[in-house]
Structure 1
Amino acid sequence: MKHVSILVPGGHTSLTNIEGTYQILAEVNETQKAMGKAPLFTIQLVGLSREARQRNGLFTIAPDLLIEEVKRTDLIIIPALFGDQTSALTRNQALIPWIVEQYKAGAEVASFCIGAFFLAATGLLNGKQCATHWRLANEFRAMFPEVNLVDDKIMTEEDGIYTSGGAYSYLNLLVYLIEKHAGRDVAILIAKAFMIDIDRNSQSPFIIFQGQKAHEDESVKKAQEYIEANFQDRITVDQLADLLALGRRSLERRFKSATANTVVEYIQRVKIEAAKKDLEISRKNVNEVMFDVGYSDSKSFRTVFKKITGLSPIEYRNKYNKEALFSDN
């Protein structure tokens, strides 16, 4: 059987990640038994202390084992650690060498949501793709620039290391791991039992673009503010460069460094965010929304919209604007 170590870090941790993983993997074992097969997983909670108090003492978790008692494991699950990430890393520093040692010995490692911060602190993600909650994407990039964060993806896999995107997307990664280790048939049964969308692979439709102003470049901030105030117009890089009395190349370099987007990407994201809000709350058709955010070419608008959200404008409208959906029927 494969030994699964669900970590129980100190501090404020996602109880949902811990209990949900335990429950779902235990159900895999029950499914295996029902099919006349041996259980697949030995599942244990592993921590730094015999008791881990959570939610200011509202809940207490008693790990099955301490890390020094686990000589060999096959899969390590890192739940989301909430609050200040630097403090969470410091508090749970002793877990890092153990995770690295187990990985080098052949264990796979999976992080859920912002547990990616802790996984990245091990150095195992350097040069690899990684997903995390889209809300903390900028903070993650600032802390771990050597990691290739793909904030639109719901999960990543590379060299036995797995990450999942925001919140309950950990369920999708769990089903993926079950499919890998138990087969597609078991994964489908588990997905049906827990009503998990087995083939969802993007968190783009859920991303709310809020601008990226956690930087100190005032010229770039002025450019961002101009874009956000005039998104209905056609804005060019040269126009912004002239407005700020900067060279085009200098503006593009500074903008990318400060926001992790090119100027054109930022303009597109601001326009598409405005379009998303219109599609969510208004009864305008797609062409009306397109014109309102400054696009005149429908093919271009639809291409950019799908690239950013993962859905076509009509699909997005039908998913999030129930009034518009019902009015079409």
Structure 2
Amino acid sequence: MIAMILESPLYTTNYGAAYIGDSLELLDCIEPDSIDLVITSPPFALLREKSYGNVDQEAYIDWLFAFCKKVYRILAPQGSFVLDLGGAYQSKRPVRSLYNYRILIKLCDELDFRLAEEFFWYNPSKLPSPIEWVNKRKIRAKDAVNTVWWLSKTDNPKANVSKVLVPYSERMKKLHENPEKYYKPKERPSGHDIGTSFATNNGGAIPSNLLQIPNTESNSRYIQLCKAVGIPAHPARFPQKLPLFFINFLTELGDTVLDIFAGSNTTGFAAETVQRRWIAFEQNPSYLAASAFRFLDANENNDAAAKLFEKLLRKQEKIKITPSETQLHHSFI
């Protein structure tokens, strides 16, 4: 149960609530062992300061650890903590920073988090970077993969991979149609005897821990309404399929999902589409107010979006947003 002190959300929906404030303070308002999934993408430890407020590399590990310590307290015993961290280079050197690995080790050594599994988010649409080493000197390949740590408080967090199956390959589809024609049982070089049990159609293939999800939200309704209202969209947005994958994988109906660096609240909207309760924390009022555009009925016009944005910034009344059923879809891959 969420502590009653969390009683003044910026806006609510059928399943969630979005709060303005510093997550270090807001996390103290949540009951211990009450959140089933914390999934977030904090500002990365980049060399250049961004508009959304990233922290200097030197101070980053201790800064992020303070948040994670409070996440451990509020996470349910069978819950999960999913942390997306982009890579970075060291200052003026073509050498990678190890900050994302150091924070992982610190969390496991000092907070007793378990690394349930490491994931890697491959964004094929990512532009070549850093320019100095990739484009100019041409001595490095482009950085297109984020590390995503799936952490838990126990060895056996709640999880069900059958809920995130991916489409079979064309070859596997043929095998399902006619196993005898396309496969003959044989012993592998490792000594394993491979029969035909894997030819059973289970509705999809088990996904790997390499998640190929392009981040191409260039013409979404959120972006369109931000442009129409004349406000900047959040510059570092989750692609919706990324949090949706973990929400489907690691939670059930009735569970609660929290994003402590919500930004444009992609996580909250993803949770809404699959009927999970959600909480969003974001300290930038403009970013969180604009995130409400994700939940607007598709029939609402630009003027309605502009009025909603102004109301949220003034916050003179309780505002509940009810997404239309046409917006709530269940695809995740």
TM-score (norm 1): 0.25
Bigger Rg, which one? 1
Query: Which structure would you say has the larger RCO, counting Cα contacts within 8 Å and 6 or more residues apart?
Result: 2
Higher helix share: 1
